[in-house]
């Protein structure tokens, strides 16, 4: 069988439509690849090979009948924070280790309506809380470029599966960088859409005002195709924006001539690795050479984003995770002397250390006497961060910046120092706080590891970000590099 593992969606679509390959063959090739590398990469929490082959057979019937959509027959992994009917959804937590939803998340349902093939569920930091996928209750995921390094987090499984050629694309979620940072670390494309563009219905909540579902793909054209499928209004999500559907592939060939791109000086933080800085600066010069008008800009409240995020996100997590009490579903401790002790032990044993840490931080920030000093003040800072972006976007069409101050770090390097781990997200947090779209595009290598270029735009500017990213990929070939496994 031909080697299909690094096909893009567009290439696979052409081969499927021209009957050069069947969806069953493509799916089997992915399953073979998973069997070949998964014991080293560990990107899947749950595999669904029988379902995948069944869905592939149905996809082949749709293709034969001429009823195929852009994603029909394409094998995909979904981060294990999105509900999948009849398939366990663990959030990589002991708390939900045996939880099997009775419905699909809206984003997953939209993919299934197009006839995708679900290979399984992707590993992650527990309840999406982490930057390395080392907080999974089951096992850490390894970076396909260097198995001794982290893949990033919390969508480490989705990014690693695409980079390793196990899936043609994946769905991740991004609360403070959880799509973009793993995409950067693994050398793939990741997009966090505008807050409200993609339904959060069926996404297990971490921080409801920050979470957003988005694609992880091999290139920018694929990213636009997946966004076409998952974007759109959903009445079941109160935060979903009432917008008409768009074709995000339409703007891809427009180039960057005349576009105004800002370079925020605050994103080139102290301690940034020289190789990462060099790769990002070289990418910016390429965009300048392509005709973009590049200028320095300032976002002074960026320095407060990390502190702001680590009040708002834990506060919302404290409220959202209060539902896991062992009564209706999930892990339940049964050996205590009374109900209250059962509840306490359920949460003690069901949640891992990082989740417990954030619950306690959030509960403290929301407690009587501290609410005004912490949570209310963080919301006021959030407003200032939004105003900073609004002011800058009067001058420029998009921002270009690093995704992370470093390349992928070693497994175990930061697990004992939560503050150093949190600093991994310093460049990705502000767009979440402001609800803005942002994406990571491969732009080079340092120490043999991928570096990502971050693009940030005003609300609902996904077309502009995809346009810039696509134009950049036409001038470079970083996205074509693949790891040796």
pLDDT 10s digits, 142-192: 999 999 999 999 999 999 999 999 999 999 999 999 999 999 999 999 999
| Residue pLDDT, tens place only, 33-84 | 999 999 999 999 999 999 999 999 999 999 999 999 999 999 999 999 999 9
pLDDT mean over 120-132 = 98
Residue-level pLDDT at 156? 98
* Host H or E run for residue 449: strand 449-456
Tell me what pLDDT residue 327 has.
87
Which CATH class for the 9-259+400-480 domain?
Answer: alpha beta
Write out pLDDT tens, residues 346-363. Answer: 988 999 999 999 999 999
3 state DSSP class of 24: helix
For residue 89, pLDDT beyond 60: yes
366-412 per-position pLDDT tens digit = 999 999 999 999 999 999 999 999 999 999 999 999 999 999 999 99
Residue 192 near residue 205 (C-beta atoms within 8 A) = no
Residue 2, pLDDT > 70, answer no
CB-hemisphere CA count at 13 Å for 314?
A: 26
Q: What is the pLDDT at residue 146?
A: 98
The beta-carbon contacts of 17-25 under 8 Å, at least 24 apart in sequence, are 17/63, 17/68, 19/63, 22/56, 22/60, 22/73, 23/56, 23/57, 23/59, 23/60, 23/63, 23/72, 23/73, 23/74, 23/117, 24/53, 24/56, 24/57, 24/60, 25/1
What CA–CA distance (Å, rounded) separates 153 from 5?
23
- pLDDT (mean) for 416-440: 93
Rounded mean pLDDT of 229-252? 96
How much is the pLDDT for 342?
83
pLDDT at position 334 = 87
Q: What was the pLDDT predicted at 1?
A: 40
CA 449 to mean position of chain CA atoms = 19
Domain boundaries in the chain?
9-259+400-480
Cite the active site residues: 79, 154, 178
Residue 184 tokens, joined: 């950067």
Query: What is the pTM for the complete model shown?
Result: 0.97
Q: Which pLDDT does position 471 carry in this prediction?
A: 98
């Amino acid at each position: 069988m031909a080697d299909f593992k690094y096909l893009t969606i567009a290439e696979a679509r052409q081969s499927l439509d021209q009957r050069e390959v069947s969806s069953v063959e493509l799916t089997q090739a992915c399953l073979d690849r998973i069997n070949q590398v998964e014991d080293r990469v560990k990107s899947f929490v749950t595999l669904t090979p029988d379902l995948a082959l069944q869905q592939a057979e149905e996809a082949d019937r749709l293709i034969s009948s001429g009823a195929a959509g852009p994603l029909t027959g394409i094998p995909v992994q979904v981060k294990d924070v999105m509900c999948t009917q009849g398939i366990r959804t663990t959030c990589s937590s002991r708390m939900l280790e045996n939880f099997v939803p009775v419905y699909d998340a809206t984003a997953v349902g939209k993919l299934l309506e197009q006839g995708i093939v679900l290979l399984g569920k992707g590993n992650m930091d527990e309840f999406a809380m982490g930057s390395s996928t080392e907080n999974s209750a089951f096992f850490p995921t390894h970076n396909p470029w260097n198995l001794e390094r982290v893949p990033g987090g919390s969508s480490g499984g989705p990014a690693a599966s695409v980079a390793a050629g196990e899936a043609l694309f994946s769905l991740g979620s991004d609360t403070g960088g959880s799509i973009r940072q793993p995409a950067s670390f693994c050398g793939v494309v990741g997009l966090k859409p505008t807050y409200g563009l993609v339904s959060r219905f069926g996404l297990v909540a971490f921080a409801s005002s920050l979470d957003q579902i988005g694609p992880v793909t091999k290139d920018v054209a694929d990213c636009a195709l997946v966004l076409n499928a998952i974007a759109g209004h959903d009445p079941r999500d109160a935060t979903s924006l009432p917008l008409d559907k768009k074709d995000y592939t339409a703007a891809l060939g427009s180039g960057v001539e005349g576009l105004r791109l800002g370079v925020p000086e605050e994103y080139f933080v102290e301690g940034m690795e020289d190789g990462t800085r060099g790769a990002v600066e070289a990418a910016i010069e390429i965009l300048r050479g392509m005709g973009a008008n590049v200028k320095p800009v300032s976002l002074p409240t960026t320095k407060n984003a990390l502190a702001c995020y680590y009040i708002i996100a834990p506060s919302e997590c404290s409220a959202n995770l209060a539902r896991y009490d062992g009564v209706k579903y999930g892990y339940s401790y049964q050996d205590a002397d009374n109900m209250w002790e059962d509840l306490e032990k359920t949460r003690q044993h069901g949640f891992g250390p990082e989740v417990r840490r954030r619950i306690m931080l959030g509960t403290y920030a929301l407690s009587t006497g501290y609410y005004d000093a912490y949570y209310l003040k963080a919301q006021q800072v959030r407003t200032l961060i939004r105003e900073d972006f609004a002011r800058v976007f009067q001058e420029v069409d998009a921002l270009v910046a690093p995704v992370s101050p470093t390349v992928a770090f070693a497994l175990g390097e930061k697990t004992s120092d939560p503050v150093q781990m949190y600093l991994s997200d310093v460049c990705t947090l502000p767009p979440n706080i402001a609800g803005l779209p942002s994406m990571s595009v491969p732009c080079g290598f340092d120490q043999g590891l991928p570096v990502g270029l971050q693009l940030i735009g005003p609300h609902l500017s996904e077309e502009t970000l995809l346009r810039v990213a696509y134009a950049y990929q036409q001038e470079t070939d970083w996205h074509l590099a693949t790891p040796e496994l």
